Structure 1
Amino acid sequence: MEETMNAAISSVATLPKLPLSVRVHRETECADEPMSPIGRIMEDLDVYIVVVMGLGKPVNLPVFRAGIETELLARFPRFRSVQVMEFGKPRWVQTTVNVDDHIIVPRLDPAAVACGPEKAVEDYVSSLSMLPMDRGRPLWEFHFLDIPTSEATSTTVLRLHHSIGDGASLMTLLMASSLSTADPARLPAMPPPPKRTGPIYQRRPRPPLSSGEALLAWVWSYLVLAWNTLVDGVLLLATMLFLSDPHTLFKRADGGSSKSHRHMRFLHRSLSLDDVKLVKTAMNCTINDVLVGVTSAALSQYYFRKSGDINAKGICLRSFLLVNTRTVSSRQTYVTKVATGNKLSSLICPFHIALHDDPLEHVRKAKRLMLRKKSSLEVMFTQVVGEFLVKYFTVKIGSFLLRLFMTRTTIMLSNIVGPAEHITLCGHPVAFMATSVYGQPQALTVHYLNYDNTIKVILAVDDAQFPDCHQLLDDFVESMMLIKEATKFHTLKSIRFD
Structure 2
Amino acid sequence: MEFREEGEVEPVSPTGQYFNSSILSVAILAVLEFELPINDSQALSLLQDVFLPINPRFSSIMVSDNVDQKKQWKRVEVKLEDHVHVPIFPSKMSPESYDEYFDDYISNIAAEKLPQNRPLWEIHILKYPTSHAAGTLIFKLHHALGDGYSLMGALLSCLQSAQNPSVPLTFPSLKSSGPQTTHKTKIVSQFFSSVFQTVSDFSWSILKSNFVEDDRTPIRSGEDGVEFRPITLSTLTFSIDEIKRIKNKLGVTTNDVIAGIIFLGTRIYMQEVTKNQAMNIVRHWCYSIPETSRVTCQSMR
Query: What TM-score range do you get, normalising by the shorter chain?
Result: 0.7 to 0.9
Paired residues, what number?
A: 265
Amino acid at match of 2:70: K
Amino acid at match of 1:32: V
Give the aligned partner of residue 54 of structure 2.
75
94 and 287 in structure 1: CA distance in 2 versus 1, 3 angstrom threshold? same
Give the aligned partner of residue 247 of structure 1.
216
Give the aligned partner of residue 16 of structure 2.
39
**Structure 1 residue 138 displacement after superposition:** 0.9
Q: Give the secondary-structure state (helix, strand or coil) at the position aligned to 2:38.
A: coil
Give the aligned partner of residue 281 of structure 1.
248
Give the aligned partner of residue 135 of structure 1.
116
187 and 262 in structure 1: CA distance in 2 versus 1, 3 angstrom threshold? farther
Q: Pick from 63, 71, 76 the counterpart of residue 95 of structure 1.
A: 76
Q: Pick from 234, 249, 258 the counterpart of residue 291 of structure 1.
A: 258
Q: State the distance in 2 between where 1:109 and 1:131 align.
A: 23
1:206-285 matches, cutoff 5 A: 230-254=199-223, 258=225, 260-285=227-252
**Structure 1 residue 29 displacement after superposition:** 6.3
Q: State the distance in 2 between where 1:206 and 1:186 align.
A: 33
179 and 221 in structure 1: CA distance in 2 versus 1, 3 angstrom threshold? closer
Q: Give the secondary-structure state (helix, strand or coil) at the position aligned to 1:290.
A: helix
Q: Give the secondary-structure state (helix, strand or coil) at the position aligned to 2:28.
A: strand
221 and 293 in structure 1: CA distance in 2 versus 1, 3 angstrom threshold? closer
Superposed CA deviations along residues 421-472 of structure 1, whole A, max 9, x for unmatched, are: xxxxxxxxxxxxxxxxxxxxxxxxxxxxxxxxxxxxxxxxxxxxxxxxxxxx
59 and 160 in structure 1: CA distance in 2 versus 1, 3 angstrom threshold? same
Alignment check: 8 A CA contact 1:126 1:265 kept: yes
**Structure 1 residue 179 displacement after superposition:** 0.4
Alignment check: 8 A CA contact 2:10 2:74 kept: yes
Q: State the distance in 2 between where 1:102 and 1:62 align.
A: 15
Cα root mean square deviation, aligned: 3.5
189 and 231 in structure 1: CA distance in 2 versus 1, 3 angstrom threshold? closer
273 and 262 in structure 1: CA distance in 2 versus 1, 3 angstrom threshold? same
Alignment check: 8 A CA contact 1:129 1:261 kept: no
Q: State the distance in 2 between where 1:203 and 1:277 align.
A: 30
Q: Pick from 20, 30, 34 the counterpart of residue 51 of structure 1.
A: 30
Of the two structures, which has the highest relative contact order with CA contacts closer than 8 Å and spacing of 6 or more? 1
Amino acid at match of 2:17: R
Superposed CA deviations along residues 335-381 of structure 1, whole A, max 9, x for unmatched, are: xxxxxxxxxxxxxxxxxxxxxxxxxxxxxxxxxxxxxxxxxxxxxxx
**Structure 1 residue 110 displacement after superposition:** 5.2
- Tell me whether 1:186 sits opposite 2:167 in the alignment: yes
Q: State the distance in 2 between where 1:115 and 1:273 align.
A: 22
Alignment check: 8 A CA contact 1:117 1:149 kept: yes
Q: State the distance in 2 between where 1:298 and 1:71 align.
A: 37
Report the structure number with the largest CA radius of gyration: 2
Unaligned runs of 5+ in 2: 177-182, 277-301
**Structure 1 residue 90 displacement after superposition:** 1.3
Q: Give the secondary-structure state (helix, strand or coil) at the position aligned to 2:20.
A: helix
244 and 113 in structure 1: CA distance in 2 versus 1, 3 angstrom threshold? farther
Amino acid at match of 1:41: Y
169 and 262 in structure 1: CA distance in 2 versus 1, 3 angstrom threshold? farther
TM-score (norm 1): 0.47
Q: State the distance in 1 between where 2:83 and 2:190 align.
A: 52
Give the aligned partner of residue 474 of structure 1.
none
- Tell me whether 1:65 sits opposite 2:65 in the alignment: no
Alignment check: 8 A CA contact 2:126 2:137 kept: yes
Amino acid at match of 1:235: W
**Structure 1 residue 235 displacement after superposition:** 2.2
TM-score (norm 2): 0.74
Determine what percentage of the aligned residue pairs are the same residue.
26
Give the aligned partner of residue 458 of structure 1.
none
**Structure 1 residue 109 displacement after superposition:** 4.8
Q: State the distance in 2 between where 1:154 and 1:227 align.
A: 45
Alignment check: 8 A CA contact 1:144 1:156 kept: yes
Alignment check: 8 A CA contact 2:126 2:136 kept: yes
Give the aligned partner of residue 148 of structure 1.
129
Q: Give the secondary-structure state (helix, strand or coil) at the position aligned to 1:71.
A: helix
Give the aligned partner of residue 106 of structure 1.
87
Q: State the distance in 2 between where 1:92 and 1:295 align.
A: 35
289 and 264 in structure 1: CA distance in 2 versus 1, 3 angstrom threshold? same
Q: State the distance in 1 between where 2:26 and 2:245 align.
A: 35
288 and 177 in structure 1: CA distance in 2 versus 1, 3 angstrom threshold? closer
Alignment check: 8 A CA contact 2:63 2:72 kept: yes
**Structure 1 residue 119 displacement after superposition:** 0.4
Alignment check: 8 A CA contact 2:96 2:130 kept: no
Superposed CA deviations along residues 287-333 of structure 1, whole A, max 9, x for unmatched, are: 44433433343234334444448xxxxxxxxxxxxxxxxxxxxxxxx
Superposed CA deviations along residues 93-143 of structure 1, whole A, max 9, x for unmatched, are: 212112112112223355987871100011011111333332211111112
1:107-126 matches, cutoff 5 A: 107-109=88-90, 116-126=97-107
Q: Give the secondary-structure state (helix, strand or coil) at the position aligned to 2:237.
A: strand
Q: State the distance in 1 between where 2:104 and 2:196 align.
A: 48
